[in-house]
Amino acid sequence: MSPYTLADLDQRPDLVPNVLALFATTAQGSGHVVCGIPARMGLEPAAADLKGTLGVLLAMSGRRLAGALAICPYSEEQVTLWGPVIPDPREQPRVMPVLMQELRRALREGGFTSMRSQVDTRNRTLRAWMMAEGFGPWKDMHCYERELAPFRSADISDVQAAARADLDDAARILAECFPDSDHHRPNLVQRENEGYRHYVLRHEGRTVGAAAVQGGGRRSWLKLIGVPRSERGKHLAHRLLDGVLASEARLAHHAMGLEVLDDNRPAIALYEKTGFQRRWSASLLIAPV
Ligand X SMILES: CC(C)(COP(=O)(O)OP(=O)(O)OC[C@H]1O[C@@H](n2cnc3c(N)ncnc32)[C@H](O)[C@@H]1OP(=O)(O)O)[C@@H](O)C(=O)NCCC(=O)NCCS
Chain residues in the site for ligand X (CB under 6 A): 177, 224-227, 232-238, 260, 264-267, 269-270, 273
Residue 162 CB, shortest distance to ligand X, in Å, is 16
Q: How far is the CB of 213 from ligand X (least distance, A)?
A: 11
**Structural contact between residues 35 and 49, judged by C-beta atoms closer than 8 angstroms:** yes
Query: Closest CB to ligand X among 105 and 273?
Result: 273
Tell me the C-alpha distance between 5 and 260, whole Å: 38
> In terms of CB distance, is 139 or 265 closer to ligand X?
265
Report the side by side order of strands in the sheet with 5-8: 5-8, 55-61, 64-73, 78-85, 114-120, 277-288, 136-147, 255-261, 219-226, 206-216, 197-203, 159-161
3 state SS of 195: coil
At its nearest, how many Å lie between ligand X and the CB of residue 261? Answer: 8
Q: Which is nearer to ligand X, 88 or 263 (CB)?
A: 263
Q: C-alpha angle 221/70/180, rounded to 5°? A: 50
Query: CB of 18: closest distance to ligand X in angstroms?
Result: 36
Q: Which is nearer to ligand X, 43 or 269 (CB)?
A: 269
Is the CB of 14 or the CB of 204 nearer to ligand X? 204
Residues 147 and 219 sit within 8 Å (Cβ to Cβ): no
Least CB distance to ligand X at residue 266 (A) = 3
Q: How many CB atoms lie within 10 A of CB 58?
A: 23
Q: Quote the crossing angle between the two packed helices 124-132 and 92-109, to the nearest 10°.
A: 60
Q: Considering beta carbons, is residue 135 or 221 the nearer one to ligand X?
A: 221
Cα distances from 224 to residues 46, 56, 168, 178, 200, in angstroms, run 24, 28, 15, 8, 12
Nearest approach in angstroms of CB 263 to ligand X is 10
